[in-house]
Every structure is written in structure tokens, then in C-alpha cells.
Structure 1
């Protein structure tokens, strides 16, 4: 159980991401900096508000040596489906074929199980130098998208900037447990953002 309250954890994000070691994109063992900010799902709105606050504060102040780029995983899915002209078709799929069929169709369309993962490519193509990437929308994107799949694929291709995944659940350092209840998914390459 976390000994820090959500307000204490949120208050530590800015000093942590402003630390030169963090900005050099190196984690504890000098690996590429991938981090997880885990929190109780009941604190979702507080976390969203803080992300918006930090994005506005940092991106409007030229004294920061970086910008924050926020990618909402759910919004990326919607953008890709719209761009490919499939959004309305997905609604029809769900009515006619059910949720499971629709989920599988979206996973196939987005190539989530391949190296050509459209979500990963979307993020890479829109990530400038000198930024910190915030990944959000994990809960909204479930069950279509599993965060460990995104991190594993992104880790192979994006190594120029630090990445922070905001995760509504628990991260033990080896397991991601979404909503504090769903079976954990092994993920070993990220560090807890706040200790």
C-alpha cells in the first residue's frame, strides 16, 4: 500500500520530471527512462487535472528545458479509426457481432499484436525532441488496449525522451494490475515515477 497520499504523489511529479537525471532519459540502471505513475482508480479526475495543469504550466513557460506531450491512448484509438473511416463500421460491428468480435476487429485493424502497431507509430511520429511523453487514457482504452503491450512495443522504438505512463491501478515493479483488481501483466522495464 502506498504510504503517500495522492496529493503528495501528484506534488512530486513536477520536481521529478524536472530533475536533470530524468531529463537525460536514464532510469535507475542507466536504461532508457520509462516510468509508471500508478494511482487508485478513484483518483482518476485528480490525476487528469494535475496532468492538464502541468502541461499548461510547463508548455507556456520558456524557462523549462522541455515540453510535455500528452497522448491519450483512447483518443488515439478514436483518431485512427476515424482517419481510416472505420469508426461508424465499428459501431455496426458491435450491434451485429457483439463486443468480443468488435474488440478483436479493432485489435487487428490497429495491428496491436505486431511491429507495425499503429498506436506506437502514432506516438513516435508525433514525439518531438526535448519533451516528456505522458501516456494517459489507460482505463478508457481497456479492454481493447493493454498498457504493457504499448510499453513493450514503444520501448523498442522510442528511446530519445522519457515516457511516463499514468496507470489507474498498481505497479509492483514487475506487475501491472489494472483498476487494482484485474490480473496483473508482467512488465519489467519501467520504474516507478514516485518512490
Structure 2
């Protein structure tokens, strides 16, 4: 298997490819791709994202979202972000998680990702999957996104594995079924 830098270089080339941008070769399936990497490569992936976001020579229009940052925005809008440490101390982690899960829904995340007029070369890049766990599960979010973002490719940077049927976060947790995506590299 190639190292993470080689895989990231291949990813950069692939997201600019016309066949990828149009979903050619997917047999009318949704254009959702998983870029799986070893969790210990997280910092290299974050650095790569920063480089992509600042690359003025990309032959695609990169729309990049870190799910954890969206989560913080949602918490801020609900006026709970500053209260989280005190709430967890007084009521416990289980209470806090239950409370947050009531408003940090897949729909809330999908709404935060909506943007203006889409272009034919847009690519939606999702990162922060491990950071936002357990408040958002990527397989649930992708179910929501495949309706609202069915016209552009979605790339999920995933710290774990995907075998074509199930995603396994950090290569440790119980697999969650999601069969609509494809491994990108």
C-alpha cells in the first residue's frame, strides 16, 4: 500500500478529473466517495486540506467543510457552546450527549452546508469525521446529503476503513452499514 502522501497526491489529481466530476462510471449511483486513511495520519490529512483550500490552480471548485466546525457553529446558534463544560460537570456526559443530539441532527448539518448556485465542477469535501464523533455519524449524514447534494461529487475524508458495505471509525468501533459510497483510492 502506498504511503499517505502518495494517496493524497492521487486524491488531488482525481478530484480534478472530468470523469470524477461528472460521476462517469458509477452506473447511476450517487457520487459519494470515501477516502479512508489510518487515524495516525490525521495531521498529514489536515495539512493536505489546508493546501487544497488555498490552491488557486485546482481544476475544480472545492467546497470544504470540517464537520466539527459545523458542530461548534450549531452549538453556538443554540446558545449552548459556552455552557457545555458546566453542564457536563453538573449533569454528566450522558445528559449532555442526549441534549446535544436533539439539535445536532443530520438535517442541521446539511442545512449548514447549503450554499449558493452550484457549478458543474463543484466538489464537496467533508473532514472532521473523527472530531465530531459521537455527535454526528457520517453514515447518517451521507443519507441526508445524497438527496440535497445529488448533483455534485462528495468526498469524505475518513479516519478508518470502508469495505464497500460498512464504515468503521478509527478501525475500532462497531461497523455502521453504508453501501452507497465508493472507495476513492
TM-score (structure 1 length as normaliser): 0.87
Alignment match of 1:164 (pick from 155, 158, 179): 155
Question: Match for residue 141 of structure 1?
Answer: 132
User: What is the number of residues matched between the two proteins?
Assistant: 184
Kept in 2: contact 1:25–1:160 (CA 8 A): no
Partner Cα distance (1:66, 1:11) in 2: 15
Matches within 5 A, 1:15-26: 15-26=13-24
Question: Match for residue 48 of structure 1?
Answer: 46
Kept in 1: contact 2:33–2:183 (CA 8 A): yes
Task: Report the aligned-residue RMSD.
Answer: 1.7
Gaps of at least 5 residues in structure 2 are: none
Question: Match for residue 84 of structure 2?
Answer: 90
Partner Cα distance (1:187, 1:181) in 2: 16
- Summarize the Cα distance change of 1:97–1:127 in structure 2 as closer, same or farther, 3 Å threshold: farther
Partner Cα distance (1:103, 1:128) in 2: 34
TM-score (structure 2 length as normaliser): 0.92
Alignment match of 1:109 (pick from 103, 124, 130): 103
Question: Match for residue 192 of structure 1?
Answer: 183
Gaps of at least 5 residues in structure 1 are: none
Partner Cα distance (1:70, 1:21) in 2: 20
